[in-house]
Structure 1
Amino acid sequence: MTPDKEIFTTEEAAQMMGCAPSTIEEHARARVLPGVRMGHEWRFPREAFMNAINTLAITGELHRDSPKRKAKAVATDKGKGAKPGRRNPIPELPTLRSVG
Structure 2
Amino acid sequence: MEDLEESVRLTAWVRGRVQGVGFRWWTRSRALELGLSGAATNLADGRVEVVAEGPLGDCARLLEHLRSGRAPGHVDSVVERWSSPGGTFTGFVER
TM-score using structure 2 length: 0.27
> Greater RCO between the two (CA within 8 Å, min separation 6)?
2
Structure with bigger gyration radius: 1
Normalising by the residue count of structure 1, what TM-score does the alignment of the two structures yield? Answer: 0.26
Identify, as 1 or 2, the structure richer in strand. Answer: 2
